[in-house]
Amino acid sequence: MGTRDCGHICGESSQGIGEAGRTGEWRSARPVIDNEKCTPARKNKPSCFLCWLYCPDAVISKAIPIHIDLEYCKGCGICAQVCPTQAIAMVNEEECSS
């Protein structure tokens, strides 16, 4: 079984979750949310969602409370930077698994 069956003759893919592989494996720091500080969670109202807007990998859901898909989150830390209430902390991945 080779790769010829995919039918591509150049680098080609369709848009889809996971198309670039499990990019969550690249992460060295994990975004951890403090829902005591997160505005939509605290007010229980759809609001803010700047992390959802700025996430370049679209792994943050616009929900209450927000949810981050760690399968594909690369740990870039943009969400933590843009959060006006500092509700997201970037925690070293090694500390999270221990």
Partner 1 sequence: MLGSKAGTQILDGNHAAAVGAKLSRVQVIAAYPITPQSPVTEKLSEYVEGGNLKAEYVAVESEHSALAVCSSASLVGARTFTASSSHGLAYMHEMLHWVAGTRLPVILACVNRAIGAPWNVLNDQQDSISQRDTGWIQIYARTNQEILDSVIQAYKIAETVYVPVMVCYDGYILSHTEMPVDVPSPRDVDSFLPPYKPHTILDPANPRNYNLVTLANPRVNAEGVLCHGYMEIRYLLQEALQNAGETIASVGREFGGLFGRSYASMLWEYSLDDAEIVIVAMGSLAMEAIVAADTLRDEGHRVGVLGLRVFRPFPKSDVVTALKKARLVVVFDKNISYGSEGATCSEIKSALYGSGANAVIRNFVVGLGGRDIKARELAGAVNKSLPALKEGVLNDEYPEWICHI
Please give the residue ranges that form the binding site for partner 1 (CB under 8 A).
Answer: 1-6, 8-21
Shortest separation between residue 30's beta carbon and partner 1, angstroms: 23
- Amino acid identity, residue 29? A
Q: How far is CA 13 from CA 7, 60, 67, in A?
A: 11, 23, 27
Query: For partner 1, which is the closer residue by CB, 21 or 84?
Result: 21
At 29, list the tokens.
């720091």
Minimum CB distance to partner 1, residue 61 (Å):
18
CB 61 within 8 A of CB 1: no
Tokens of 95: 């500390």
Judged by CB, which is closer to partner 1: 32, or 70?
70
Q: How far is the CB of 13 from partner 1 (least distance, A)?
A: 5
